[in-house]
Amino acid sequence: MGNLSLVTIVIIAANVIISFKGFNDFGFFEKYKFNVGSIVKGEQFRMFSSGFLHVDTAHLFFNMFTLYVFADVVIGFLGALYFIIIYVGSLLLGNLLSLYFHKNEYYYSAVGASGAVTGIIYSAILLQPDMSLYLFFIPIPIPAYIFGVGYLLYSIYGMKNRIGNIGHDAHFGGAIGGYIITLLLASWLFETHLLMIVILALPIVLLFVLKKLGKL
On the question of pLDDT at 164 being above 70, the answer is no
159 compared with 104, residue with greater pLDDT: 104
Within 33-56, where are the H helices? 36-40, 46-49
- Structure confidence at residue 1 (pLDDT): 44
From 39-43, 169-173, 195-199, the region with the lowest mean pLDDT: 169-173
Q: Which residues of 157-172 are buried (b: 16+ CB within 10 A; e: fewer)?
A: ebbeeeeebbbbbbbb
Within 10 Å of residue 135's Cβ, how many Cβ atoms?
Answer: 12
On the question of pLDDT at 11 being above 90, the answer is yes
**Cα–Cα distance, 13 to 11 (Å, whole number):** 5
| Percent above pLDDT 70 for the chain | 94
pTM over cut 0.85: yes
Confidence label for 131 from pLDDT (cuts 50, 70 and 90): confident
**Cα–Cα distance, 148 to 204 (Å, whole number):** 11
On the question of pLDDT at 167 being above 70, the answer is no
Confidence label for 2 from pLDDT (cuts 50, 70 and 90): very low
Q: How far, in Å, are 2, 66, 130, 175, 185 from residue 124 at the CA level?
A: 14, 11, 10, 11, 13
53 compared with 203, residue with greater pLDDT: 53
Tens-place pLDDT, residues 30-52: 999 999 999 999 999 999 999 99
Fold of domain 6-212:
Rhomboid-like fold (1.20.1540)
Mean pLDDT across the chain? 89
Cβ atoms of residues 71 and 8 within 8 Å = yes
Confidence label for 135 from pLDDT (cuts 50, 70 and 90): low
Q: How far, in Å, are 13, 52, 149 from residue 146 at the CA level?
A: 28, 26, 5
Q: What average pLDDT does range 169-181 have in this prediction?
A: 90
Within 41-143, where are the H helices? 46-49, 57-78, 80-101, 114-127
Q: Are strands 109-110 and 132-133 parallel, antiparallel or unpaired?
A: unpaired
**Cα–Cα distance, 94 to 171 (Å, whole number):** 6
